[in-house]
Structure 1
Amino acid sequence: MDDPRWYSDRDWYADDPDVGLDGTPGPEQITGPVLRRREGIIGTTTDQRLLDSSGRADWVHTDPWRVMRITAEFVEGFGALAELGPAVSVFGSARTRPEAPEYDQAREIGRRLAEAGLAVITGGGPGVMEAANRGACEAGGMSVGLGIELPFEERMNRWVDLGVHFRYFFARKTMFVKYAQGFVVLPGGFGTLDELFEALTLAQTRKVTSFPVVLVGTTYWQGLIDWLSSSALEAGMIAPEDVERLQVTDDLDEVVSAFRTSAAS
């Protein structure tokens, strides 16, 4: 393992809580442009406060101001990414360790996409995201990270060339789709599934067109494909073409060719 740094959503600092594995201070919280450490860390996120309906009625007066912050977040994201060029969003688990085969796959995918002239967009965190950013960066391509404010803040990985931090998930999700020609999805959990099904919903409702979605790892994804093809399809909840939108492969050449074909069409 040539890069010993690894951290999950809650376990990414050394035994000394004030020193991270890379020698920098330990737990961090990024709130928009603000960095918080140690006693400066607060216990809630902007999304939590927006969605909390159990508090006092003063939200009536503060929500209009939140609209300005939300608008600013979109403006900043659009401004930062406007000249990005052709790109692919890569998703997968933040918990993937550098010695895992999925890390190597994501790194190689990032490299091959960059060599094909495509920027690589990830969530900017550890695991699969770091690996894809790393592969793109090492190949001399554009490596983009779209971070999010979380109660257990992840640092933007060091392979990101262009990073944008978001307070609101919905603003961040817009950037993943708007500036990408499609998605590559490696094994992951709820966050990965969330992005996957959002893309499929947008394609199903024709909000996006010619948007390849490639699942990498046939063993990991086969159970989901079987369920969609049987339970969901047989119950009439989806159509056959909805399942056909998904390309499942272990062949990294197929991953890159899916986006070359999309770019040419």
Structure 2
Amino acid sequence: MTHPEEGRTPEEQRLGPVLRRREQVQPGTTDQRLLDTEGDSEWVHTDPWRVMRIQSEFVEGFGALAELPSAISVFGSARTPVGTPEYDAGVRIGSALVEAGFAVITGGGPGAMEAANKGAREANGVSVGLGIELPFEQGLNPHVDIGVNFRYFFVRKTMFVKYAEGFVVLPGGFGTLDELFEALTLVQTQKVTRFPIVLFGTEYWGGLVDWLRNTVIAQGKASERDLLLFHVTDDVEEAVALVTKETGSPTPS
């Protein structure tokens, strides 16, 4: 016997917390769409499904990093060649941070990131790499002991901040600048506290600092005190000392 409502499109449809009316009503039910083995597979590319992927990335990242000791995130260019002074500085910084009692977190790629991971590993410390899915993906460098690959930049950046107590920023490009200004914004707006940011390389970063002072601050777009949000140095020991001073030195491993 046919039910009188069969074949009729309802005027209102409730799908969990979502309300749909009139032309936005979808055919069938959520259970039907879940259990139906045939049909379009485009649903795996929809925003609701992306939310699940995003959630899973947070869960995986939190699970992998929750038991890390005190850590410092080190940023820098993936294009820094092996054997250059910048690469060698990255190795020494990674090693010095471990000797000061910190784990080292990088983006897991080559160049300056690889250098810091190498220094941490050679110092028998915890060497972490947080990779990102890119069209020119190169994978995690061989000096990473704990690695997590992410699809979404914003999830990855959350991990850099949540599981680190400060940043050391080596010379780098757009990605490094993105991470640097993300951190500066979080500190300026007091979303994070006691979060030292050290720029390594006075010659490289000097032009940026001058622009901030002579243009951004001079035109009232930022305050003079915002220059106190970061430190600039060429000395590895000073960089580590600045991080240690503001975070409180952990117990060396």
Question: What TM-score results when the alignment is normalised by the length of structure 2?
Answer: 0.80
2:97 is aligned with what amino acid? Answer: L
For 1:244, which of 223, 228, 231 is the aligned residue? 228
Asked if 1:101 is matched to 2:95, the reply is no
In 1, Cα distance between equivalents of 2:212 and 2:230: 11
Q: Any conservation in 2 of the 1:86–1:180 contact (CA below 8 Å)?
A: yes
| Structure 1 residues not aligned, in runs of 5+ | 1-57
1:89 is aligned with what amino acid? Answer: S
Q: Say what the alpha-carbon RMSD is for the aligned residues.
A: 1.4
What does 1:61-100 correspond to in 2, within 5 Å?
62-100=46-84
In 1, Cα distance between equivalents of 2:80 and 2:244: 27
What does 1:199-214 correspond to in 2, within 5 Å?
199-214=183-198
Q: Give a deviation string over 1:173-224, Cα, whole Å, max 9, x none.
A: 0000000011000100000000000000001110011111000000000000
| CA apart distance, 1:59 | 7.6
Q: Any conservation in 1 of the 2:200–2:234 contact (CA below 8 Å)?
A: yes
Aligned residue pairs total: 208
Q: Any conservation in 2 of the 1:111–1:132 contact (CA below 8 Å)?
A: yes
What does 1:216-231 correspond to in 2, within 5 Å?
216-231=200-215
Equivalent position of 2:142 in the other structure: 158
| CA apart distance, 1:262 | 2.3
Asked if 1:143 is matched to 2:143, the reply is no
1:225 is aligned with what amino acid? Answer: V
| CA apart distance, 1:60 | 11
Equivalent position of 1:177 in the other structure: 161
- Structure having the higher Rg: 2
Q: Give a deviation string over 1:126-181, Cα, whole Å, max 9, x none.
A: 00000000000000000000000000001200000000000000000000000001
Asked if 1:129 is matched to 2:113, the reply is yes
1:100 is aligned with what amino acid? Answer: T
Asked if 1:110 is matched to 2:94, the reply is yes
In 1, Cα distance between equivalents of 2:214 and 2:163: 33
Q: Any conservation in 2 of the 1:181–1:262 contact (CA below 8 Å)?
A: no
Equivalent position of 1:120 in the other structure: 104
| Structure 2 residues not aligned, in runs of 5+ | 1-41
Equivalent position of 2:173 in the other structure: 189
In 1, Cα distance between equivalents of 2:226 and 2:62: 30
